[in-house]
Chains A and B, each alone.
Chain A
Amino acid sequence: MASFTPTIPAPRPTTSRGERGNLPPVVGGGDGGRPDPGSPDYGARLRRARLGLAVALTPIGMLFVAFTSAYIVRQGLPTFDPSTNTVVHDWIPVRLPTLLFLVNTCVLLLSSVTIEYARRQLARQVALEPVQSIPGVSLGAERKFPWLALTIILGLCFLAGQWLAWSDLAARGFYVATGPSSSFVYLLTGAHAVHLLGGILALLATGVSVVLNRPLASRRIVVDVTAWYWHFMALLWIYILALLEFAR
């Protein structure tokens, strides 16, 4: 499955005097000569995890396709209004806290950037693990920047921001059952938030696995998969926002 081949370019490690030095040959690996951190099937496991994620994103997509379908159908449904004895369309789009949603969107996109940095950082660490033990070899400009922790914080900020948006709606009198439009706003944003929370829990589990000293390769796979999941959640959020804002 060539599309799942990891292609993170690893920076050339240098000696502390900036020379290239004598590097050991890349050893082992049963899959195309990629650097093999320990376990012989690491590349295969990564590809498999990515394939699994692609498969898993399909039903999540279908869930939101179904919600979208219900949303579009509901907008056009006529209903009987007993006070006027006529059939009317009772869809009144609720005014959205657009500014708040836009701020949240920026927070989420920023978290997408940070998790991408985290993903690449971890991939580089894994690729360089065999050579790091050699005295005199430094990782150059590689810093231990806490991209993962930053992502978790931004993710939680996004959820807090969503909570603020719901509070704003509630303050104006729009609860889940107030009307069809408000029902869908809560439904779509709530379902997205639940899935994003799942992503945050995965990142927290990764943090725990650092403390528990799990193998780097396994951590890389988890973060890699969670990062792609996170990007999907960001795109999904943009879709939901566009649906709510424009398909009114």
Chain B
Amino acid sequence: MVAQESHQHSAPQGFIRKWVFSLDHKVIGLQYYFLALTAVFVGMFLSLLMRIHLIWPTAVLPLLGEIKPETYLSLVTMHGTIMVFFVLTTAPQGGFGNYFLPIQIGAPDMAFPVLNMLSFWTTFVAYVVMLAAFFVVGGAPLHGWTGYAPLSALQSAGPGQGLGADLWIISIAIFCIASLMGALNFITTTLDMRARGMSLMRMPLTCWSWFITAILGLLAFGVLLSAGILLLMDRNIGTSFFLPLGTINGQLTGHKGGSPLLWQHLFWFFGHPEVYIAILPGMGVASQVLSTFSRKPIFGYKAMVYAMLSIGLLGFMVWGHHMFMSGMSPYTAFAFSIMTMAIGVPSAIKTFNWLGTLHKARIRFQSPMLFAIGFVSLFVSGGLSGPFLAQPALDIPLHDTAFVPGHFHLIMGVAAIFGIFAATYYWFPKMFGRMMSEKLARIHFFLTLIGTYSVFMPMHYLGLAGQPRRYSQLTELAYLHPLMGLNTFMTYAAIITVAAQLIFLFNLFWSMFKGPKASDNPWEATTLEWTTATPPPHDNFGGRTPVVNNGPYEYSVPGAPRDYVMQSDPATVTAH
């Protein structure tokens, strides 16, 4: 391993160099975080519009007017796209990963700081292009975040499928490039810049999760880029990669020979690893926070690492479970089904290890811990409906019903978000030098936990009862009348839950300026970020080079003077 070298760039002066085009991974991390913060409020607003429309379809909203069915579909599309890409793929990895990976491994910065800066601004450009789709002629696309051909491949397929869809594809292509640049940085940094004594098996689980997530991104985003290029070609220069012979509005499209299934395969080969990219950092944070606030080492550190590696590997072999209804051979479906259920094994190992960490622990129920425990709860709730959908026989009646969004919202829309919240409350003192209000945090936690369960748990029941997804008009279907009461309840719960996030927003910004000053290690944690000043200096360790002697979770070590031993403290008896 390389001895600590001199930091490549000195602290910048001037507003532009310091806060806009900063090369400092900490500033870039915050930039990603605040981009995701704006995106999540845009996404939540879109989801509120959807929920309101479902129970009051004829409502005329101020400024927006009546929501037509095609508008509803564009809301579905943009909500999904913005949340999956600009929230769940940016905040956990680009936000916290950028900020804390170098510090937790004892490095002064990422491997390629200029590339890091470029990756954020490229993401920003992608975000602007995506939002622009709302404001062009025809509006935002309606083909869903999954962009299935032939709907997405024909300019005349519907409102928003002209320029709006082109902007959507271009935005995603730009996002692919940005993500690949970021993944490059994460992998090189983790492999090449760990401090002396920081072996791979002494890294905090957060670092492992960012590393594995980066590998997944490295392998998956290239395929999405290829799909996007082929789709742009089909739409604009007349090729027929995804378009079969067919007519639109009674006229031949001029394409022939292509296959919509090819799009599905290419998209989901990316799409499934993408959802693991969304959840793995949350798992890392959950392990970190659970260990810290249980005052116990994480139960089964090695198993946790191998489980994350297995999830990453198996995640590339299950994409067909999104395509059970596409007409595939039952034997192929069987293979994908077995692999999908196999992923349940490492996921269960992680869950039991989290519980094992909590078992007989003297738990400190502070706000980061509440969200970490909430993460485990939601991971179980959302994860358990996965094996249902993993079986083709069950997927046949459940595909395209509300059961599916029930599943993925609990796990992506809530568990992964709880991971982000846990990380925010946990690392806020280190990033901003102040403590967040614990009282407001608790109110936020309980309202969000109860609210999100209220919104998404009933979706499983609705799906089993036959309520379709992506339908803008439920009230006109007689067989759904008995379910409208539940839908109304879910809408009210959604409104309250979104409102509760304003408490978080207030807490975040108020505490940044007015919160009580934080010490360097308010949670008495062990990892390297807590050894340095709060907030960390430009080169992270103030000229020092950390040397690591202990594992990442040395809590309650018998015979130690305190109930925690920091990674850079002298070696303890149990150090490995």
Taking beta carbons and an 8 Å cutoff, which residues of A are in contact with B?
Answer: 1, 30-31, 40-41, 44, 47-48, 51-52, 55-56, 58-63, 65-67, 69-70, 73-74, 77, 79-80, 82, 90, 176-177, 180, 183, 187, 191
Contact = CB atoms under 8 A, between A and B. Distances in A.
B242 to A, nearest CB: 9
B218 A41 contact: no
Contacts of A82: 245
B219 A59 contact: yes
Interface centre among B180, B221, B244 (most CB of A within 10 A): B180
Given A30-B5, A52-B112, A187-B233, A70 B226 contact: yes
A183 B192 contact: no
Contact of A62 (B3, B187, B223): B223
A143 B233 CA distance: 48
B223 A66 contact: yes
B2 A44 contact: yes
Contacts of B191: 1, 51
Contacts of B221: 59
B188 A52 contact: yes
Majority secondary structure, B binding face = helix
Nearest to B226: A66
A74 B220 CA distance: 21
Interface centre among A30, A51, A55 (most CB of B within 10 A): A55
B158 interface: no
A127 B266 CA distance: 47
Contact of A55 (B6, B218, B237): B218
7 contacts: A41-B6, A51-B192, A52-B112, A66-B227, A74-B241, A79-B244, A90-B257
Interface of B: 2-3, 5-6, 111-112, 180, 183-184, 187-188, 191-193, 218-223, 225-227, 229-230, 233, 237-241, 244-245, 256-259, 262, 265-266, 269
A59 B218 contact: yes
Contacts of A176: 233, 237-239
A177 B5 contact: no
Given A44-B2, A66-B223, A77-B257, 12 more contacts: A31-B3, A48-B192, A51-B191, A52-B188, A55-B184, A58-B222, A62-B218, A62-B220, A65-B223, A66-B266, A176-B238, A183-B241
Contacts of A73: 259, 262, 265
A142 B269 CA distance: 51
A55 B193 CA distance: 15
Contacts of B112: 52
Contacts of B229: 187, 191
A56 B259 CA distance: 30
Contacts of A48: 111, 188, 192-193
Contacts of A55: 183-184, 187-188, 218
A82 B246 CA distance: 10
Interface centre among B219, B229, B257 (most CB of A within 10 A): B257
Contacts of B240: 177, 180, 183
A67 B239 CA distance: 14
B329 to A, nearest CB: 15
B110 to A, nearest CB: 11
B155 to A, nearest CB: 14
Nearest to A4: B192
B233 A63 contact: no
A63 B225 contact: yes
Contacts of B218: 55, 58-59, 62
